[in-house]
Structure 1
């Protein structure tokens, strides 16, 4: 299992989730990549190489979800079985658009600005993809995006509802809080095991 972090977060930000998934019977590997500094051009080739090494699942936070689906779209033969995105703006980020309109904040997005703004096309790949979105609006993103509906302070729930998803859930967590949510961890483990974002029956075997 491969875990990817978000744009401004280090790989260690996924450590809590890795521990929870390990306790659920999985063997997690945190994959660090250059988010803002490198962008897709730098991040995708090594990510593709890693994902091609063996069949795996992917848990990705925020930009990590866009990177994962971009890799799978460009290389549909990759042996990725299931993907869970935590708060990923798969339909494009209004907050990123707000940052991009200001020269003094555009630099914060680095070379990932375009991907964050445009999002991903409707999902038609082989891997099953689910999203866990947050509805606790605590984050700096709300200063740059005029959210009309539920949001996690950085990404709106609507921005996570990409066509073609296998499952979608909304939980009371902020964008960063999704990384430390026991509910999100249980849902991710359930999806990897059964293809649905609900805890599996006790005693079910991990794959």
Structure 2
């Protein structure tokens, strides 16, 4: 053993890097599911986000019986309750509309980005087709209006990234024509909205978007940089 290796190590110096890491505010992500779904469907995405270093929670809401407004109110409360360096929102389908409406024109919320996955931002042709069937509107419940009408152009300060699917498999194609490309439920055209920061399409169906490793990687990239990673050439 050399003289240098026997030199005592100051334990305070050894602990300093870890202490600095622990004291840094962790960034938080809130996940929101779509209509007819529950938070459990977001577990694979939540796991990938935790592996990337984020703390994660999921908000469950009664999409049919209560609509999006109670979820909007609860989401704002959860955002304000967080002691984090940033609070990001990630929504699937209808959950994306909840995320946008919760932050639209609202001051005093923590900073952070928004990722919308398979969102019917311009309204859903499948939802409109469903209302043509007896009892179809009842299946949409209190979320009928946002699904039929979509949302206004985005003018908020938060950066918004949109991921759309283009694998045409899903119940939606049995209800009526969808403009191609689409994910079986939402067309790529319906996911495009003036004011968003970035847009990407992937080979996944509407439900498959939730289990796609590519979607998870794109989500992490956007939350870190405010844009999606460049498409490989």
TM above 0.5, one fold? yes
Deviation of 1:101 (Å) = 2.3
- CA distance in 1: counterparts of 2:139 and 2:192, whole angstroms: 25
Of stretches 5-14 and 37-46 in structure 1, the one that deviates more from structure 2 is 37-46
> Which of structures 1 and 2 has the bigger CA Rg?
2
Partner residue in 2 for 1:69: 100
8 A contact 1:76–1:125 mirrored in 2: no
Deviation of 1:103 (Å) = 2.8
Partner residue in 2 for 1:167: 198
- State the secondary structure of the residue aligned to 1:39: coil
- CA distance in 2: counterparts of 1:91 and 1:80, whole angstroms: 25
Partner residue in 1 for 2:81: 53
Deviation of 1:74 (Å) = 5.1
8 A contact 1:51–1:80 mirrored in 2: no
Equivalent of residue 102 in structure 1, options 133, 148, 152: 133
- CA distance in 2: counterparts of 1:31 and 1:145, whole angstroms: 31
Partner residue in 1 for 2:67: 39
Query: How is 1:87-98 mapped onto 2 (pairs within 5 angstroms)?
Result: 87-98=118-129
Partner residue in 2 for 1:24: 52
- State the secondary structure of the residue aligned to 2:81: coil
Equivalent of residue 165 in structure 2, options 98, 111, 134: 134
Partner residue in 1 for 2:153: 122
8 A contact 2:163–2:215 mirrored in 1: yes
Q: Structure 1 residue 79 and structure 2 residue 107: aligned?
A: no
8 A contact 1:142–1:153 mirrored in 2: yes
TM-score scaled to structure 1, two decimals?
Answer: 0.91
Partner residue in 2 for 1:202: none
- State the secondary structure of the residue aligned to 1:6: coil
- State the secondary structure of the residue aligned to 1:127: coil
Deviation of 1:76 (Å) = 4.4
Deviation of 1:192 (Å) = 0.3
Number of residue-to-residue matches in the alignment: 199
- CA distance in 2: counterparts of 1:80 and 1:53, whole angstroms: 13
Partner residue in 1 for 2:40: 12
- CA distance in 2: counterparts of 1:118 and 1:64, whole angstroms: 15
- CA distance in 1: counterparts of 2:69 and 2:33, whole angstroms: 17
- Larger RCO (CA within 8 A; separation ≥ 6): 1
1:82-123 per-residue CA deviation (whole Å, 9 max, x = no partner) reads 000110111111111111222322211110000111111010
8 A contact 2:90–2:99 mirrored in 1: no
TM-score scaled to structure 2, two decimals?
Answer: 0.82
Q: Structure 1 residue 154 and structure 2 residue 189: aligned?
A: no
Deviation of 1:44 (Å) = 2.0
